[in-house]
Amino acid sequence: MRGALGIYTLHYAAGRGAVKRAALALVLIVSLLAAAGCAPATDGTGEGGGSHGIVPDVIGMTEAEAGAALEEAGYVVGDVTTAESAYSDPGTVVSQDPIASSSVAAESEVDLVIAAP
């Protein structure tokens, strides 16, 4: 028997371990969503209410511009390192961690890599 979405219902295939597979699939999906940042925000007590935001894209900005953009978004500049870059202007951000558009707790550090002069 097929369900509303054209998927066999669990009671049809329960004798073949479908319930265990479905439970395992559910655990896997929830784990992947949590790892992708789609889990409910918490404040460390297990309760909702933690303050999260979206990390801005600061690639291509100067270190000062990136710091201002991060501060405005509620983040702080973490470790700043330099690296050679053939594709970026010296003194500009070539990478950041966490990456842009990540959902991260407010006041988290964002590490920057700046193109070497």
Integer Cα distance of 100 and 111 in angstroms: 11
Q: What is the pLDDT of residue 51?
A: 86
The SS3 call for residue 34 is: helix
Specify the pLDDT at position 2. 54
What is the block-wise mean pLDDT of the chain (117 residues), using blocks of 10 residues?
52 57 67 63 48 94 97 96 95 97 95 96
The pLDDT assigned to 18 comes to: 63
Looking up tokens 């979206």, which residue turns up? Answer: 54
At 84, list the tokens.
Answer: 């050679």
Read out DSSP for 3-29?
Answer: -TTSPBPHHHHGGGTHHHHHHHHHHHH
